[in-house]
Amino acid sequence: MAMIRVLHNPRCATSRKGLEYLNSKNINFEVINYLSTGLSRDIVKEILLKSNLKPIELVRTQEEYYKKFLKAKNFNEEEWVEILTQNPKLLKRPVVIGKYKAVIGIPVENIDKVL
């Protein structure tokens, strides 16, 4: 298994830029198309632990589902983990996960924190 994993949405330009950035640095990494494979509770918890972000910081608040059902509501961490596993489209991308650190690759230079 590659030391670096990238949660990637091939239809997202920002996510594609993240992959291009890693490729330009000749980094070996594993691409996970999380919209096809889904998100496990374990991987969401790993992202939270390694990124030191709050769950809401992983959420794409411009998504219609968020605006319709989640906006202005309070959820605890476990509830957010469940929401993200049930609605992977809400996850900001790309998420780059290394051995000790995880970041959202916006801007792409954030990825350097994992390398």
Tokens of 12: 């997202």
Tokens of 112: 């350097």
Parallel/antiparallel/unpaired status of strands 29-32 and 102-104: unpaired
Are 30 and 97 within 8 A, CB to CB? no
Please check the confidence at residue 1 and state whether its pLDDT lies above 80.
no
Pair 10, 90: CB distance under 8 Å: no
At residue 49, the pLDDT reads 97
Residue 60 CA to residue 89 CA, distance in Å, equals 8
pLDDT digits (tens, 9 = 90+) for 47-74: 999 999 999 999 999 999 999 999 999 9
Provide the whole-model pTM. 0.93
Main-chain dihedrals φ then ψ at residue 92, nearest 5 degrees: -65, 150
> Using 50, 70 and 90 to split pLDDT, how confident is the model at 2?
low
Diameter of the chain measured on Cα atoms: 42
What pLDDT digit, counting tens, does each position of 64-108 carry? 999 999 999 999 999 999 999 999 999 999 999 999 999 999 999
